[in-house]
Structure 1
Amino acid sequence: MEYVGEHLLPGQLGHFFAVLSLVASLIATIAFFKANKTADLKDRQSWLKFARMAFLVETISVISIYLFLYHIISNHYHEYFYAWNHSSRALSLQPQYLLASFWEGQEGSFMLWNFWHCVLGWVFILRNKKWEAPVMTVISFAQFCIATMLVGIYIFDVRLGNDPFILLRHQMAGAPIFDNPEYLNLPRIKEGNDLNSLLQNYWMVIHPPILFLGFASTIIPFGFAFGGLVNKDNSWTKPALSWVSFSAAALGTGVMMGAAWAYESLSFGGYWAWDPVENASMVPWLLLVAGLHTNLVYNHTGYSLKSTYFFYILGFVLILYSTFLTRTGILGDTSVHAFTGADMTEQLYLFLTVFIWGAALFASRTKNERMLVTGAAIIITGCYYFHIVFALASCLIAFAFLFYFLNKYIPSIKKEESTYSREFWMFIGALVFFLSAVIITYQTSLPVINRIFNQQHADAEDREFSYNQIQIFIAIIIGVLTAITQYFKYKNTQKSFFYKKVLLPTIIALIVSLSISIFGNIDYDKHGIGFLAAIHIALFASVYAVIANAMYIWVGLKGKMKGAGGSLTHFGFALFLLGVLISSSKKTVLSQNTTGIAVFEKTKDQDPAENITLFKGIRTDMGKYNVTYLRDTANDFDRKKYFEVKFEGKDGKDNFFLYPDVLKNNKGQEGFAPNPAKEHYFWGDVYAYATSWVGSEAVNDTSSFRTVNINKGDSIFYSNGIIVLKEVVVNPEHYKRATLPGETAVMLDMNVTAKDGRQYTVQPGFAINMRDSSFRNLPDTVIAQSLIVRFEKLGEEEKGAMQIGIKETSNLNDLMTLKVYAFPMVWLVWLGVIIMVLGFVLSIIQRTRKIRLTAV
């Protein structure tokens, strides 16, 4: 059958470049490996030249795949399954989200990863000639592995990867709609399946590229370690430092951009919830930082080389493991943003084990050891297809081999370090980071453990506390070590010198932290006095780290920022830690439900007592604020429903508007995805999002106010009863709406009696500001009767002293429930991250200059 309107050429070209990428990356891997193993300089250069040409073809192919797929998505060629499944024509009004459509699917995110490998590869080729061959061998092989995820070809009965250029009619072969040659004109196909509502946020345009840059960059420290093992040369540790700093900066920035996205979009009440996908991204960063510190120790003292190898290898392996977790669907029930869909479990498992076993193989030295490792890898990995338990066994045995060979062949100094040396405490800090990574990995891996051992370990009822009760002690230790370690010298430090240097920052930190604890109302007793005490100790540790690092820069380095990269990074990390502690322990729910109306039942995630119910147009008491749901509007541009909510501080000063919104869920999810709104202050953020809403269609409401003149004691009728004006009151003492400073309120005390005998009090009126003669109308509402009464003006005596307006409208059925938090000092979190990244950048510049000077 010949189909009408299909554009087949872009897909054919895209698939051609996907296959070319696979072939070119394999050739580049072999050529770089041969260049590294060749002793003859002329042959080495010949192999390198050939490898670079292959890598250039690989780079052109990756960029071409990206451009063809983006061309298909942006032009809404929905004859391609990827374009139809991950985008829609409605996104044309917001073209930035077409990029988010690109990496919503697994294939697009793999391509993004490939792209960054290409960029980093060329930068490395230009800057690191000595280590080009071994490191580029690893990068090219990773490119080959990723390329297999994108070709979508069959080898016998096994499909290799998923083709992002597959046609919709091939993906859904046999569907009746494809009997129609003009199926592209069908509304369901023409419009597209849309982008996941959670991803329709500007953070999802910038967060994934930075995060995948961080993911991709971790391969370079791993590549250096590979080169050291293969070439039996440990001089790689000096050029590796700048790359590790870059990787830590990029990955840390990407992770915290994800936290900002969660703060903006996910509405789980903050920027971090120990979600499995968050954890899977953070753990490799912890190991990178641990490796960075042991690397520094080795460069200065000769200690900790084995640990450096171990941390860099394990850090990259855990990147692969995090990919395995998030892309196999195994976290689908425990994470709000894990990839699901195309199952690549076998391929991902294969590549994970290949890299671990490969590291063990190249760490071995003798022929017998290599044969043993190779045989064990083939047998145990192959058994995976009989039972999943061999997946765990394979990885653990590979690590056992690797650790054994590292311990056997990597040289180390036998002399013990002094406890008054910088390297001793840096190594302790690295171990603490490693311990934290192990604990987080275990808790995150419970779904994997359940699947392997057929267990039913449930996720903790209070997930955040299950992590925090352990990580709070990690924070205390890291905070103290961050404060004191730089005051030690390498190899040995005189005790008197050390105590003299740390005395002043210790005293200042004690004073500051005690002031915060005493006067800052840190009274988070939800989990008992023990956890509260740990919070106060952690506050001291973080304050101590902030002050000690600031004083070290000012006094120890005499304010010279050129050499302060490490201290600035520590200062930023300490500031971040302080912000996390204060914003989390002082996070307050402002939206205590004072109306007594519960719109939904209590669940694990939401409590109606912590969600205030707001009726449109009715000012409602919410603690320190009076809150009014003013109106809502649908925006055709971004397809969101916005709510305008007015916050009025009872002190008369703190007044502002928030505009939370909801977007209808798609991709098989029911309900709406809420996006929070925030008001920023120096002391923190007021953070609000809609948890539910019920509304009538305001656009269909054609009712208007009916004007009536009335005197005291008069009665007037409405459709369901009678209204009586009892009296006129000036500045009533008990009135449910507060007047503003300088205002005089005149209220009509009225009684409403419905036909069924129920009675209500309604008090419309007006307020006059005597200072500027401004006038403010104060209507009142009877929700149960769908009735609004407002003061119009003073009437004529013979007709009635008061003129009021009466309106009966279905819009009083409009209500929303709002969750409102206060996040004190949350800006410290973001400022700390920015300063920490600047510190990493400064360290990179500092080390690059040092290498150039050494070369000169």
Structure 2
Amino acid sequence: MEFIGEHLIPGKLGHFFVLLSFISSLIGAIAYYKSTRSVFESEDSKYWTKLARFLFAFQTIAILGIFITLYYIISHHLFEYKYAWQHSSRALPMEYLLSCFWEGQEGSFMLWSFWNAVIGWVLISRKGKWEAPVMTIMNLVQIVISSMLLGLVVFGHKFGSNPFVLLRNEMDAPIFSTPNYLDFIKDGNGLNASLQNYWMVIHPPVLFLGFASTLVPFAFALASFLRRDYHNWAAPVLPWALFAVATLGTGIMMGGAWAYESLTFGGYWAWDPVENASLVPWLVLIAGIHTNIVYKNSGYSLKSTYFFYIIAFCLIVYSTFLTRSGVLGDTSVHSFTDLGMNVQLFLFLSFVIWLPNIIHAKGLTNKLIIGFIYLALCILTYKFAIVSFATIVGGMVFTAVQLSRNKDIPHIAKEENLYSREFWIYIASLVFFLSGIVIIAKTSLPVFNQLFNTSIAPPEDIEFSYNQIQIWVAIVVGFLTAVAQYLRYKDTPVKSVLKKLLIPTLVTLGLYLLFVLTIGIKYYKKGLGFEIAIHAALFMGIYAVIANLLYIFSGLKGNLKLSGASIAHVGFGLVLVGILISSANKETISINTTGISPLKMKDDNDANNNPAENTTLIKGISTDMKKYMVTYVKDTVNPRDGKRYYEIDFVSKDSSERFKLYPNLIENNKGGEGLMPNPDAKHYLSHDVFGYVTFLSDPNVKDKDTTTFRNKTIKIGDTTFYSNGMWVVNSLELNPPDSRFEAFRKDTVLAADITVISKDGRFYKSRPAFKLEGNQINMLPDTVMSQSLVFALIKPGDLEKKEVEIGIKESNAILDFITLKVYSFPGINILWFGIIVMVIGTFIAIVHRVKLLKRTAKQ
């Protein structure tokens, strides 16, 4: 059958580029390996290197071709392709078309492959003896990543998911039996509401640059095995490791900023499994950087450096497995669903874990034996799920054993001196690593349940289960960050260190006491022990900042070019202080003082649905919210992004402060029903006011009032009941002094003075009236919005009997309201500023290390 309106050329071109990427990376890996096995700078080595570079150029062209072709398909709304139909729509603003790439798994692998290509060219430009072995490993990983886009079926097993497949080939629906099926597909499914944020345009590219850059230390470590050069790799790898830490850390915190602006858990970090899966490799990589520095300065900890760099990238791939296998679908707000590639993802993970063991083994026989063990474990995984656990953990343990037994790797048998810098840096690295292991073990609970067919439930308070451990990690690392730099390598006189630390300690103590006495810590929920731990961590965070600042001027004589590490440590201390103050002193200011709430508490930990912490705002009515009077002004739909924005006016009770928040709601088109709230924040130097909508009156129902008035003739002073209380007509008033009637001063106005008393004892006033304009009588109803009541004065009745006829109706349609959750985050800008300082310090350190390498190369 010939289909009408299909654009098949982009898809065929995309298929070609996917195959070209896979084949060029495969042959390129072989060529670079042949160069590695040849004598460096021999004719044979030069020939294979030249061929490998040529193939890498083809690979890069193919990756760019995949990107450009897919962008063309998405931007031109070619919904005959499944990827465009599934992830985009005609209504999306231009900037969000890029986000369509990384909503799907295929786009994420494309992004990863793209950054590998960019980094590969930087490595090639450096040339030297490390190009061939490092690029061998880079190409091996590129083979696996590009295979994720193949979409080929071999012996009944699908390898990869091709983003250029046609919708009619993937879905079985009656419309595909007609040649003009595209006439019935007017639009795509659109982009997930949570991704329609500017952070999600820039956060994934930066995060995947971090993922790609962690491959370089891994590749250098394995390249040293290929070259049997265990010493000279540690210097050139250090700038790359620093770059990986900077980019991965920036990407993680961009995700935190996205969560802060787009999600409604009231913060920037929730120990979400996907957050954790990215954090743990970062922690392990930091451990590797510090042991690398120790080795460069003292000769210790090279084996640890190998292990940390290798495991960091293994954990990156493990995080990919967790995120994309669908195993976290019920426990994470931003994990992918299973695309049927779980076996392939597992093979990717196990390949990366076992590759160091195969390369590290001496002799072809040993390599083959380890290779056969790996293949046997992979085959057994198909029949016994528990074997996959042994494959992953066993590979990591085997790596550690091989490294510890390798006598060729330089090491010093003598233990480090207790008063040496290298000893305490090693301790800090070990703390980082153990912290990561605890986090990843907790995060892997869903995997454990699947493998062992168990149903272990997560802790009731997930956040506290992490916090109660990591708070002690913060204390130890904060202390070591402050103290270790004042120690010397090899040995340090104790009195000298204590003398240098006296001033930083006294300054820190003074600042800590000043903070406690003026602001203090207001977190008392988890007992005295945890409160003491918070104070200790806060002290150590301040200590890290002050000690490093003073070290820059005393130890480094103010030389900023040499101060990268100390500046990064200052940033780390600020991050720690910012986290503690903003989290511990976070205050809910939307305390419900009205007694009105449509919410019902679902469980004790569901803060979003706690009626006591959510204020209901009735449109146009100013409501008390701690230091503010808050008014819901209006709501409007932005035609550009389809979001409904709510204008909320905040005025402090002393009139010194006034601002507006614009939280919004968007149709939750994927992964749930109804509307998805997005918060808004007012940023001050000292704090943020952060709010989001938790409940609203149905915008489709309001203004569609079909309820009719029920007329009642009652005596003035008598009480009449309604569903939520009672009401009393106090009197009739002629031309009452009410601002509502200012426009009718030339007419005669008669109003009924009514008092409404709700069941919770609250009083409300209402003045329904009619006006006499010439011989024309017009009714002027009045609404008690919070009680959903409308009163109308029908006629005065018998004035001698003091009777009056009042019309009343109760209708939810008249009540336009929202329920708002509002927090105050004090000190949050300390956190964001600390991140910036930490990244700046890391890049200063990178520049310094690169200059040292160039200087060494010239000597």
The count of corresponding residues between Structure 1 and Structure 2 is 795
Match for 2:238 among 216, 241, 255? 241
Q: Where in structure 2 are the equivalents of 1:446-845 lying within 5 Å?
A: 446-603=445-602, 604-605=605-606, 606=608, 607-696=610-699, 750-752=753-755, 761-762=764-765, 781-787=784-790, 812-845=814-847
Matched letter for residue 640 of structure 1: K
Which shows bigger deviation, 513-522 or 719-728? 719-728
Q: CA deviation at 1:375?
A: 2.5
Q: Which residue number in structure 1 is paired with residue 355 of structure 2?
A: 358
Distance 2:686 2:581 in 1: 11
Equivalent residue, structure 2, for 1:178: 176
What displacement does 1:853 show? 1.9
The CA deviation string for residues 61-96 of structure 1, in whole angstroms up to 9 with x for no partner, is: 0000110000000000000000000000111xx111
Q: What secondary structure is seen at the aligned counterpart in 2 of 1:644?
A: strand
CA distance in 2, matches of 1:727, 1:420: 89
Q: Is the 8 A contact 1:545 1:574 kept in 2?
A: yes
Whether the 8 Å contact between 1:749 and 1:761 is mirrored in structure 2 is no
- SS of equivalent to 1:395: helix
Deviation at 1:399, TM superposition (A): 2.0
Q: 3-state DSSP class of the match of 1:599? A: coil
Distance (Å, rounded) in 2 between the aligned partners of 1:55 and 1:281 = 28
Cα distance in 2 between the residues matched to 1:393 and 1:634:
54
C-alpha distance in 1 between matches for 2:737 and 2:295:
77
1:211 Cα deviation after fit: 0.2
Q: Counterpart of 2:517 in structure 1: which amino acid?
A: I
Which residue number corresponds to residue 38 of structure 2? 38
In 2 relative to 1, CA 807–456 (structure 1 residues): closer, same or farther, beyond 3 Å? closer
* Superposed displacement of residue 611, structure 1: 1.2
Residue of structure 2 in register with 1:215 after alignment: 211
Per-residue deviation, residues 500-545 of structure 1 (Å, max 9, x unmatched)? 1111001111121122223223131101111001000000000000
Which residue of structure 1 aligns with residue 771 of structure 2? none
Tell me, yes or no, if structure 1 residue 285 matches structure 2 residue 282. yes
Displacement of 1:698 in angstroms is: 8.9
Query: Which ranges in structure 1 are unaligned for 5 or more consecutive residues?
Result: 704-712, 733-747, 766-778, 790-805
The equivalent residue for 2:103 is: 104
> 1:329, 1:343 within 8 Å by CA — same for their partners in 2?
no
Q: Which amino acid aligns with 1:99?
A: L
Q: Distance in 2 between matches of 1:113 and 1:525?
A: 44
- Corresponding position of 1:774: none
Residue 299 (str. 1) matches residue 301 (str. 2):
no
Q: Summarize deviations over 1:394-429 as a string: whole Å, max 9, x none.
A: 122222321121111123101111111111111000
The aligned amino acid for 2:79 is H
Aligned equivalents of 1:397, 1:807: Cα separation in 2? 72
Cα deviation, 1:292-315, whole Å, max 9, x if unaligned, reads 000000011110000000000000
Partner residue in 2 for 1:2? 2
C-alpha distance in 1, partners of 2:401/2:852?
35
Aligned-partner SS, 1:595: coil
CA distance in 2, matches of 1:230, 1:400: 21
The 8 Å contact of residues 360 and 399 in structure 1, kept in 2 or not, is answered as no
Q: Shift of the alpha carbon at 1:471?
A: 0.1
Answering whether residue 247 of structure 2 is matched by residue 250 of structure 1, we say yes
Amino acid in the other structure paired with 1:673: M
Q: Tell me, in whole angstroms, the C-alpha distance in 2 between the residues paired with 1:63 and 1:167.
A: 21
Matched, 1:66 2:67: yes
Which residue of structure 1 lines up, in the alignment, with residue 336 of structure 2? 339
Letter in 1 for 2:223: G
Structure 1 residue 691 displacement after superposition: 1.0
Pair 1:726–1:562, CA change in 2 (3 A)? farther
Q: Is the CA contact 1:201–1:265 (under 8 Å) kept in the aligned structure 2?
A: yes
The alpha carbon displacement at 1:722 in A equals 8.6
Encode CA deviations 1:588-607: one digit per residue, 9 max, x unaligned. Answer: 11111222223122234332
Kept in 2: contact 1:589–1:820 (CA 8 A): yes
Q: Distance in 1 between matches of 2:127 and 2:420?
A: 32
- Pairwise CA RMSD: 2.8
Q: Which residue of 2 aligns with 1:744?
A: none
Q: Distance in 1 between matches of 2:501 and 2:243?
A: 30
What is the TM-score with the length of structure 1 in the denominator? 0.89
For the 8 Å contact 2:158–2:341, the answer to whether it is kept is: no
The one-character-per-residue Cα deviations of 1:99-128 (angstroms, maximum 9, x if unpaired) are: 001110000110000000000000111024
| Normalised TM-score (structure 2) | 0.89
| 8 Å CA contact 1:695, 1:815 repeated in 2 | no
Please list, as runs of the form range in 1=range in 2, the aligned pairs for 1:220-231 lying within 5 A after superposition. 220-231=216-227
> Distance between the aligned counterparts of 1:267 and 1:408, measured in 2?
50
CA distance in 2, matches of 1:109, 1:194: 17
SS at match of 2:634: strand
| CA–CA separation in structure 2 for the residues paired with 1:646 and 1:317 | 50
Taking the aligned partners of 1:155 and 1:726, their CA distance within structure 2 comes to 88
1:641-671 deviations in whole A, cap 9, x for unaligned? 1111111211221221111001010125112
Counterpart amino acid of residue 57 in structure 1: F
Q: Secondary structure at the match of 2:594?
A: coil
Contact 2:788 2:815 survives alignment (8 Å): no
Is the Cα contact below 8 Å between 1:287 and 1:312 reproduced in 2?
yes
Seen in structure 2, the aligned counterparts of structure 1 residues 391 and 763 have a Cα distance that, compared at 3 Å, is same
Does 829-838 or 492-501 show the bigger shift?
A: 492-501
Query: Any idea what the Cα deviations from partners look like across 1:731-776, whole Å, max 9, x if unmatched?
Result: 99xxxxxxxxxxxxxxx9942479x9x99631789xxxxxxxxxxx
Q: CA deviation at 1:637?
A: 1.1
Structure 2 regions of 5+ residues with no counterpart? Answer: 707-715, 739-750, 769-781, 793-807
After superposition, the Cα gap between the structure-2 partners of 1:723 and 1:9, relative to the gap in structure 1 and judged at 3 Å, is farther
Segment of structure 1 superposing worse, 533-542 or 150-159: 150-159
How far apart in 2 are the matches of 1:218 and 1:228? 16
Separation of aligned partners in 2, 1:272 and 1:702 = 43
Please give the alpha-carbon distance, in whole angstroms, between the structure 2 residues aligned to 1:235 and 1:277: 36
Give the deviation of 1:782 after TM superposition: 4.6
Q: Quote the Cα distance in structure 2 between the aligned partners of 1:461 and 1:702.
A: 44
User: 3-state DSSP class of the match of 2:645?
Assistant: strand
1:117 and 2:109 are equivalent in the alignment: no
Match of 1:819, SS state, is strand
Aligned partners of 1:615 and 1:815 also within 8 Å: yes
Amino acid at match of 2:177: D
CA distance in 1, matches of 2:839, 2:507: 26
Give the direction of change, closer, same or farther, for the CA distance of 1:701–1:393 in structure 2 (3 Å limit). closer
Provide the C-alpha distance between the structure 1 equivalents of 2:665 and 2:86, rounded to a whole number of angstroms.
22
Counterpart of 1:229, as a letter, is F
Does structure 2 retain, via aligned residues, the 8 Å contact 1:696–1:811? no
Superposed CA deviations along residues 24-65 of structure 1, whole A, max 9, x for unmatched, are: 000011111111111261100100000001111000000001
Distance 1:637 1:129 in 2: 52
Q: Which amino acid aligns with 1:499?
A: L
Indicate the SS of the match to 2:149: helix
Q: Which AA in structure 2 matches 1:483?
A: A
Kept in 1: contact 2:702–2:815 (CA 8 A) = no
Shift of 1:279: 0.3
CA contact (8 A) 1:589 1:821 kept: yes
- Contact residue 574 and residue 834 of structure 2 kept, 8 A: yes
Q: CA deviation at 1:696?
A: 4.5
Once the two structures are aligned, what percentage of the paired residues are identical? 49
Letter in 1 for 2:226: V
Of 263-272 and 453-462, the range deviating more from structure 2: 453-462
Q: Identify the match of residue 377 of structure 2 among 377, 380, 384.
A: 380
User: CA shift at 1:228, angstroms?
Assistant: 1.1
Contact 2:77 2:90 (8 Å CA) reproduced: yes
**Contact 2:702–2:816 at 8 Å: present in 1 too?**
no
Alpha carbons 2:705, 2:814 under 8 Å: kept: no
Distance 1:248 1:759 in 2: 58
**SS state of the match for residue 166, structure 1?**
coil
